[in-house]
Chain A
Amino acid sequence: MRFYNYKLKFVAYNTLTYLVITLASLFLILQVLWYLSINNIKEELLQVGTDVNLYFQEKTADINKDEDKLTYYIKNSGDIYNAVASYSNCQLQLFNLDGQLIASDTNNDEAVNMTKEIAESKDTLKPVISIRTDDGLRQVWLLSPIITNNDQIIGYSGMIKSLAQADQLQQLVLEIIGAIFLIGFFIIIIVSYSLGNSFIKPIKTLTKISSEINNGQYDKVIQYKKQDEIGVLTNVYNQMIQNINNVIIQLKGERRRLANILASLDDGVIAVDDEGNILLTNKYVKTYFDVVDPKTIYDFEFQTSLINLFNNLKTGKKNIIEEVEVKGRVLLITGSPITSDVIEENYLIIIRNITAVRNQEKEQRKFISSISHELRTPLTTIIGYTDMLSRRKVDNHELLEKSLNTINREGHRLVRLVDDLVNANSVENMVSTIHLEEINIDKLLEDVVDQMRVKSWSKEIEIAYKAEDNLPSIPGDYDRIRQIFINIIHNAIKFSHHGGKIDVVLTKEDDQFLNISIRDYGIGIDPAKKDLIFSAFYRVDEDRARNEGEGGAGLGLYLVKQVVDKHNGRIKIESEIDEGTNITILLPIQNEIVDEKEVI
């Protein structure tokens, strides 16, 4: 029988042990009692037999011959019987040599059948004992030979004593022990059950807490005050839980660090197992692919490319690179297996947003295209005129002067273009390095306005400056910000009518931004082209700008845009033809010019 319940097992074993011990004890006690009873009776009956012998000896001391002694015995058996029976606590019978009854209790004429005993005693010349049952009553029978000095048997004395008392005693002992056993049986069950409970209780507590730990509750402590073996176990267990807790805290910390690292990466990260289950990812993956809480690689919108990449990785290819366009972004996806000590294969997929790079390349191509066009135009003119001059003899002085002037002019233009290229490069350099400091914009604008007023005098343009009170300082690069306001006001002056007006206003937009507005009432910009105004080398009216000697590379507002962007600000332009232009710049009051990943 198998027990799967410790408590029941404990009870069963205790009960079984109790049963065995009790039964064994009972058996032993009964045996001993029985032995002692039989022994006592035997001793008593032997004494009576000895008495008969000695009495007979006393009475026949003067008789020498055994035959005469025998005769005396037969003749005086009654007297012998009376003498001994009077003080014996047993039934006495005297037998002759043949086993016939010759003296007994007068009320009992029937002799017991002691044939077997007589036969045995005759052989051994010693007393014999047996246990008989007569009318349902057990008796001890002892037969003792009556022996002369010459070891002659002349008769037998038979002593019988009832075992009723011994049987009663045994029965009584059996009943008492039986009752004790029964009471003890129930007590042992109850006590074992209680003891089992007390043993099991801390184990159950251990089990319960283990389950809770299994469910993630690592802050549990087992309370057990005793310092027994269970106490030692609970101490070790508590220590183990503490260690597990510490490890979990450590692992959580590692995970957080990993998450922070992943979050700090500029690239999206996906780690998958060989079944496509996502092991970890970062937010850029979700941003790029617009998937919330992906579980597998198959949850991504553009799963085709990712699945293909994944499948290729599974086939054993390494370092796969693909470029895809997703929602207006250009993403470079690279995949490679993660090498580790474990057998399982995991893969790492990196997604890099190369949209800015590609745009920059596009801008560069466009720039190069623009430059090459700009370069080609004067060069074509110069080559054309020099070709003409070299191939033809020009006698016309006027034509010659015109040609040379044109060549000169185009040459200067080339020089300006080269300067523009250098400046463009400088702008890139300028924008790439920003030094933040707390700037009083009000003071800065006041200085700039004062400075630009000098330039505006020639066109009698009024520059009005207004600022709100108690504006906060803002972080920024003083020189760069000063330059952008110079560029904007410079453009406003350039494109204002003679005697016009320019309004410069500084206000607090909200808790996050200061608002700087520069409004001119000049020629304005075609609204269709105002988005191009911040592009490099863009000039609103190329011919007019070129013909009217309005030099400039078209980089001023480009620089403004770059610097505003670098300061995490905003720039907006509103313009109508012949109504003027309003450029609004928002500069942040609190600026963290680091890690703003949403560049585009």
Chain B
Amino acid sequence: MKTLKLLIPLFLIFVTGCSNIFIADNTVLTINDENENIAIIDSINFKQPGKVCSKTKENKLLSINKTNNLYSIDMYDPVNSTLVNLTTTENRIFDVQAAQDGFFYTRNNISDPSNILISWSSYDKTKERTITNQADSVDDTIYAYDGDKVIFINNGNELIFSDSSGKRKSYTLSFPIDVRKIKWSSKNSTGFIIGRELEEDEFNLYEIILSDNDSVSINTIANNVMDMDLNKNDELVYLEQTSSKTIAYIINNFETVNKIPLFSENIIDNITFDVDNKGIIYSVQNSTGIRSNLWYFDKKNQKKTQLTSSIRLISSIFSTKANQIIYSISQQSYIENNSLIESNNYITNLIYSIK
């Protein structure tokens, strides 16, 4: 009985306390979420077709477009939202990376669609060459590095640095990696790869260190990594997926590889530094699982601001100047016969301001 006398008031307190969790029926409550904010859209342009793939030093974007079975590589000027064609081919183009005087791109051969080659072309369209051969059997993901070099991995588990003439330097990796993304520090011989070992499901973040004797060391930084970005200050930001959410980490010391958590959301699948390095732009999947919203994270005040409505993001996000981002979307997508049907891709040029 004494126990009961003790428990009853506790119970009542508990019930009373819990009542605040409830929204009683027919009661209208104001939602006072302080942390979220919506950006002001100053201008938005999504008329130019294409999927942006790379940014030049002049902050122009190289994009890939497909029209009537022809693939074209275009240069997009975000200032005036104009598109200039650089090359057109029947071969399928997978990726394009801007270099100093030209651009590298991965393509296949009509005669041998499964074999992917890397070509280089000058911006003025006067020069063009293929810098890999069939034996390389390269991945479709490449990364332009240090002016006129490109980094890629071939089937021989070699990390290859090649210039536009095809002159290359190879480093043998200790295990084969299926590459999703490559970023290389411009200041030292360290790079980062998001890839996975063969027959593994998860993509991991690897640190690649080249030594003077041409040996390569591979260190696993994190597991189940969705995306990463490396800025000019050699800061690396990446997304690590846990069972319930995605956590954004930043590493600003490659020696210690000390990762600092920045923020987390349900599912973040894209991340990039903004060009002035004051914030981070990322995409958060919404409840549909297909669409995403773009958000801005202010590194100083830790504030998050939503930049876009739900979009079907199909490219990386590129920051060309402060409060301006370029990305590609699929404007119309729908489910037909349980398949996702997408229409043409469009380059979106968004200029925003944050309150």
Contacts of B23 in A (CB 8 A): 38, 129-131
In the assembled complex, how far is the CB of residue B80 from the closest CB belonging to chain A, in whole angstroms?
15
B291 touches A62 (CB 8 A): no
Main secondary structure of the interface of A (DSSP, over half): helix
Contacts of B286 in A (CB 8 A): 47, 51, 87
Bound-state Cα–Cα, A61 to B352, Å: 10
Quick one: CB contact mask for A1-30 with B, threshold 8 Å, 1 for yes? Answer: 100000000000100110010001001100
Quick one: CB contact mask for A50-63 with B, threshold 8 Å, 1 for yes? Answer: 11111101100110
Determine, out of A116-124, A202-210, A234-242, A524-532, the stretch whose residues face the partner at the interface: A116-124
Bound-state Cα–Cα, A332 to B238, Å: 123
Contacts of A44 in B (CB 8 A): 287
Bound-state Cα–Cα, A130 to B286, Å: 22
Residue of B nearest to A114 (CB): B28
Which of these, A16, A61, A128, contacts B29 with CB under 8 Å? A128
- Where the two chains meet, the residues of B that have a C-beta atom closer than 8 Å to any C-beta of A are 1, 3-4, 7, 11, 14-15, 18, 21-33, 36, 38-44, 286-288, 290-291, 293, 306-310, 334
A87 touches B33 (CB 8 A): no
A54-B306, A58-B41, A86-B334 known; A129 vs B28 contact (CB < 8 Å): yes
Bound-state Cα–Cα, A132 to B24, Å: 9
A51-B293, A61-B43 known; A126 vs B30 contact (CB < 8 Å): yes
Asked if A46 CB lies within 8 Å of chain B CBs, one says: yes
B309 touches A84 (CB 8 A): yes
A131 touches B24 (CB 8 A): yes
B293 touches A61 (CB 8 A): no
Asked if A287 CB lies within 8 Å of chain B CBs, one says: no
What is the size category of the interface that chain A forms with chain B? 35 or more
In the assembled complex, how far is the CB of residue B84 from the closest CB belonging to chain A, in whole angstroms?
24
Which one of B30, B33, B288 has the highest number of Cβ atoms from chain A below 10 Å of its Cβ? Answer: B30
Nearest 10 Cβ contacts at the A-B interface:
A54-B309, A51-B309, A55-B309, A57-B41, A35-B21, A130-B28, A127-B31, A31-B18, A87-B288, A124-B30
Bound-state Cα–Cα, A20 to B21, Å: 21
Asked if A42 CB lies within 8 Å of chain B CBs, one says: yes
Contacts of A127 in B (CB 8 A): 30-31
A58 touches B31 (CB 8 A): no
Which of these, B25, B29, B38, B287, contacts A129 with CB under 8 Å? B29
B291 touches A47 (CB 8 A): no
Asked if A133 CB lies within 8 Å of chain B CBs, one says: yes
Bound-state Cα–Cα, A587 to B219, Å: 125
- Contact sample, A vs B, 26 pairs, CB 8 Å cutoff: A16-B4, A17-B3, A20-B7, A20-B11, A24-B14, A27-B15, A31-B21, A34-B21, A35-B21, A35-B22, A46-B33, A47-B286, A50-B36, A54-B39, A54-B309, A57-B40, A58-B41, A58-B309, A61-B43, A87-B290, A87-B310, A116-B28, A127-B30, A128-B31, A130-B27, A131-B27
In the assembled complex, how far is the CB of residue B62 from the closest CB belonging to chain A, in whole angstroms?
25
In the assembled complex, how far is the CB of residue A560 from the closest CB belonging to chain B, in whole angstroms?
95
Residue of A nearest to B312 (CB): A87
Contacts of A46 in B (CB 8 A): 31, 33, 36
B40 touches A89 (CB 8 A): no
Residue of B nearest to A125 (CB): B30
In the assembled complex, how far is the CB of residue B340 from the closest CB belonging to chain A, in whole angstroms?
12
Contacts of B31 in A (CB 8 A): 42, 46, 126-129, 142
Bound-state Cα–Cα, A130 to B27, Å: 6
Contacts of B309 in A (CB 8 A): 50-55, 58, 84
Contacts of A51 in B (CB 8 A): 286, 293, 309-310
For the A-B complex with A54-B308, A128-B31, A130-B27 known, give 19 more contacts whose Cβ atoms are closer than 8 Å. A17-B3, A20-B7, A31-B21, A42-B31, A46-B31, A47-B293, A51-B309, A51-B310, A54-B41, A57-B40, A61-B41, A61-B43, A61-B44, A87-B310, A89-B288, A120-B30, A124-B30, A130-B28, A133-B25
Bound-state Cα–Cα, A288 to B286, Å: 118
B4 touches A130 (CB 8 A): no
Contacts of B287 in A (CB 8 A): 44, 47, 89
In the assembled complex, how far is the CB of residue A453 from the closest CB belonging to chain B, in whole angstroms?
111
Bound-state Cα–Cα, A31 to B15, Å: 10
A27-B14, A46-B33 known; A131 vs B306 contact (CB < 8 Å): no
Asked if A215 CB lies within 8 Å of chain B CBs, one says: no
Contacts of A17 in B (CB 8 A): 3
Bound-state Cα–Cα, A127 to B29, Å: 9
Residue of B nearest to A41 (CB): B287
Asked if A340 CB lies within 8 Å of chain B CBs, one says: no
